[in-house]
Structure 1
């Protein structure tokens, strides 16, 4: 076998710690032993990597790693090549300060660090360690989605390297079908090495923090959520966690607020008043004002730093915070985490961001199938032992299926799943819906040989 030579770095298992660091992922379950880890420093390096992989007999599988946050093995390969984009992470604000160019290996923390100095915002992940690439290609729900929509709604153009080695620009005016496909269709069409996003003036400072209620107040918490949601604006949101924390491990409802334009904390006091001074009282609260999204994105560092690294994630969409839906999940989660201490760090997360902006884009304009107002939720199945890992995986899968089915019953609409929180074994129709035939035609046009197989699989159309 010939040797892969690029301007960047090529690592093999013989490279010890450097190789081990390169194949490490956010979840230990998504780490696989690659034959080679290629770290390009130029876009032509990527072209050479593709050519090398295709020249081998048989061709070698290629996986792409941006942030490596997805708990599936989509960014890893057992015996193949991983294109590790970590050295392609430049972030450049254009002179008019209306857009930013981000290389495909950047994390959202890299983006927020640059934008914090310019007092600018972009629609990105609530967590700094999430990669820009995978997050965006799957749709990109974030704290600013209430005001500005999804990441794909703010994508102006992208530089994509195709399986045949061509480097093309995808935008509304150049390769528009590719531009359509990568906005919600995942990474099945090419390797995106550069994104250009819209920018906005910062909506900080942000009110943030934690509000905790005991589990026996679950029904009352739901009532407060329902009342608060009726007056919610796009400038405030919650992440709601079902979790157990050491040392007592009792089931708790943890509310993580985000309040924009909170200059001195007064706006948070007003917005969050129903949760702080209403019919129920939190057992713990800590609120603060932070200057920008860089600080917000590091808010969960302490808790994530001690969480078990055997992590599986599944998520789905739902239409509304139906009490029956939340209580059904709560009861199942309490029972599951009560019975096995190896999995008691498993959590259920609900995102309460104003959904109106999501529906302003016509469903035909991007590959994302869901453009009615909706919310998303995710189950993190965490286990401390190998023996309990399948149990945690099955729980995450079963809860998301329950939410999908229960929501369909309560709302009359089956919203299915979405790429960023899928595992890869869901029926494609439930992830892409009516967009699937067009995505298959785009796959046939831009990757007819099905070179890009990692991620959620889309078969090329054969007609």
Structure 2
């Protein structure tokens, strides 16, 4: 057989059977072609909007395989996609006809409880981290969906249920092992390749393939206080201002968010909310349940909830609570987000109107609270950039029918434009972005003054922009 592969900049090349056999001998993990068993399973992304067909997949078993794959791509000038958890909304991790470097088999997690350090391979999911770390009563600030990939979340910033107490995921990164564009494996930390380490904390997958992360973990759980009240969506005009006022006085231990959604009719949920449009008010207290109970009690008192599910819960269970909203490969998704300095009445008005007029039951209007430890980091401390925002407003289009693509994506863009036009907006959060190609305005909104520094680091580690299927930063001109 012959495999056709796209070149980095233009054109295609072919690999014959003897060449494929030679490549197979290089790798410990399997080399998967479109004719091999498991090909279709390997290319499935969380976002069902994308049905891309790589020319070749290297399912890496370890760093040596990653180094080999990068060198093959370099020698043959191939287009490359890098897949960790495959959870990215923009679908960067799989490409048509290119070489996909697949880290999904590299999911090992090791915890050092004495030093509170958790080491994580590049293909791990947050469920893997939570399981291992919680065995020792520790947690790394991660996402709110346990199937999210560690790599993408970390490299793009990383917010979840613990960020107000312990910072973004990238703030808790203490070292990373990275395969660079020339096929070398380097370690980046505060004392080794310091500029690369700075760039990895929020600059995305621009600078190499991270094969391992080392995180600072924190004592959390095993049980935490979880607050969750579901109000009828039509009561949101009363509930939203009450929630906003409550968040203004919260300690850093509490991280809260609201979500407009339509609850499915499932035995997992109270009958009162089945097939109902709801406003969910949720929060987690990072301390003990006894400390958290009084702090979260007001969640059920912003009006008359349809259901109040608040109570102590295992932290791992809290981390999985939203998984059912995002079944792998079953939803088409397009998201855009805006950070805001305050939830003024003008912002709440847009939240309300958009939340009450969603185009599909699975579409979310979502506002996570920021501040706390996130805000205390300086804008140049990491590549993530400005930390001043008090909230993020994310318009999360999720739907099922391809015929609705254009209309739903436009609905998301219109909501984004409406929020962005308000005076309190500050920037954007690229992990909540479905745009495959970022314009200069989006890059400036995300990285601010850090963009020039990132372009310089990109030039130093990937001058040919081989790692370009991401929230791409062009390398600066040669000095």
Pair in the same fold by TM > 0.5: yes
Deviates more, 1:387-396 or 1:328-337: 328-337
Match of 2:55 in 1: 35
Match of 1:394 in 2: 410
Normalising by structure 1, report the TM-score: 0.91
1:91 to partner: Cα distance:
0.8
Residue from 450, 453, 468 that aligns with 1:435? 450
Distance 1:125 1:64 in 2: 20
Match of 2:263 in 1: 245
Residue from 50, 66, 70 that aligns with 1:50? 70
1:305 to partner: Cα distance:
4.1
Distance 1:331 1:142 in 2: 25
1:419 to partner: Cα distance:
2.4
Residue from 418, 425, 429 that aligns with 2:429? 418
Residue from 446, 456, 459 that aligns with 2:471? 456
Deviates more, 1:150-159 or 1:309-318: 309-318
Distance 1:272 1:366 in 2: 31
Match of 1:405 in 2: 421
Match of 2:11 in 1: none
Q: Is the 8 A contact 1:241 1:348 kept in 2?
A: yes
SS of match in other structure, 1:106: coil
Distance 2:224 2:430 in 1: 29
Q: Which runs of 5+ in 2 are unaligned?
A: 1-14, 266-273
Q: Which runs of 5+ in 1 are unaligned?
A: 338-342
1:107-126 map, 5 Å: 107-126=125-144
Match of 2:390 in 1: 374
Distance 2:358 2:29 in 1: 47
1:43-442 map, 5 Å: 43-56=63-76, 59-94=77-112, 96-208=114-226, 210-246=228-264, 250-263=276-289, 267-268=292-293, 270-278=294-302, 280-292=303-315, 294-305=316-327, 309-337=331-359, 343-353=360-370, 355-406=371-422, 409=423, 411=424, 414-422=425-433, 423=435, 424-427=437-440, 428-442=443-457
Q: 1:253-297 CA deviation, whole Å, 9 max, x = no partner?
A: 112232333436x843x223333245x2112222232222x2211
1:123 to partner: Cα distance:
1.3
Normalising by structure 2, report the TM-score: 0.88
Distance 2:355 2:212 in 1: 40
Match of 2:10 in 1: none
SS of match in other structure, 1:13: coil
Distance 2:331 2:295 in 1: 35
Taking only aligned residues, the RMSD between alpha carbons, in angstroms, comes to: 2.1
Match of 1:340 in 2: none
Instruction: Tell me how many residue pairs correspond in the alignment.
Output: 445
Distance 1:331 1:204 in 2: 39
Distance 1:346 1:287 in 2: 24
Q: 1:167-218 CA deviation, whole Å, 9 max, x = no partner?
A: 1111111111111111111110111111111111224521225311122322
Match of 2:268 in 1: none
Deviates more, 1:230-239 or 1:168-177: 230-239
